[in-house]
């Protein structure tokens, strides 16, 4: 009764062409001083020169998932097996944010996969032009009864 894990990252870049990101200085005001501009949202990459990595590598990620992922009882009772596709952002500080189920199985598997990903320890962040950047990551998690 061990869940299996497979990992995959999607290629591509969201943001400015050429894979560069724009940085903004502190928020300022216009010449009249009546409005304040918010800094632009950080660029999120789908691929980077150096991709984010779970501390300890793929084997450590598999051990983490196998140790923390629990097969939902409702899925077991209904003999549900298959893959749940989870997407999340590894932020420039290594934290995991914006966890979403892209394709699920139901029966509690989607919530369980999202819970385990949300609770992951920090990753080694991705890098672009020798700067830490936020990278969107997609990971299939296989639920299979053994």
pLDDT digits (tens, 9 = 90+) for 70-90: 999 999 999 999 999 999 999
- Token pair, residue 107, equals 């029966």
- Token pair, residue 6, equals 């497979």
Residue 65 parent element (H or E) = helix 57-68
Q: Is the model's pLDDT at 7 over the cut of 50?
A: no
Tens digit of each residue's pLDDT (9 = 90 or more) over 97-135: 999 999 999 999 999 999 999 999 999 999 999 999 999
Q: What's the CA gap between 117 and 109, in Å, rounded?
A: 12
DSSP assignment, residue 38?
P
Q: Where are the alpha helices (DSSP H) in 93-132?
A: 109-118
Cα distances from 51 to residues 41, 89, 92, 105, 137, in angstroms, run: 20, 12, 11, 28, 9
> In order of start, what are the domains of the chain with their CATH numbers?
4-13+42-143 (3.30.1150)
Tens digit of each residue's pLDDT (9 = 90 or more) over 9-36: 333 333 333 333 333 334 444 444 546 6
The neighbour count for residue 107, using CB atoms within 10 Å, is 18
Q: What's the pLDDT at 59?
A: 95
Give the pLDDT band (50/70/90) at residue 146. Answer: confident
């Amino acid at each position: 009764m061990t869940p299996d894990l497979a990992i995959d990252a999607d290629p591509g870049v969201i943001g400015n062409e050429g894979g560069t990101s724009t940085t903004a200085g502190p928020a300022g005001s216009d010449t009249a001083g009546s409005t304040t501009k918010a800094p632009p949202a950080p660029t999120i990459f789908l691929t980077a020169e150096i991709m984010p990595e779970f501390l300890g590598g793929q084997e450590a990620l598999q051990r983490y998932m196998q140790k923390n992922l629990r097969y939902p009882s409702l899925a077991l009772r209904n003999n549900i097996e298959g893959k749940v596709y989870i997407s999340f952002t590894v932020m420039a500080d290594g934290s995991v944010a914006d966890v979403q189920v892209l394709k699920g199985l139901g029966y509690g598997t989607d919530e369980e996969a999202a819970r385990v990903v949300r609770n992951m320890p920090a990753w080694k962040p991705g890098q672009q032009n020798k700067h830490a950047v936020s990278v969107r990551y997609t990971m299939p998690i296989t639920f299979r009864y053994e």
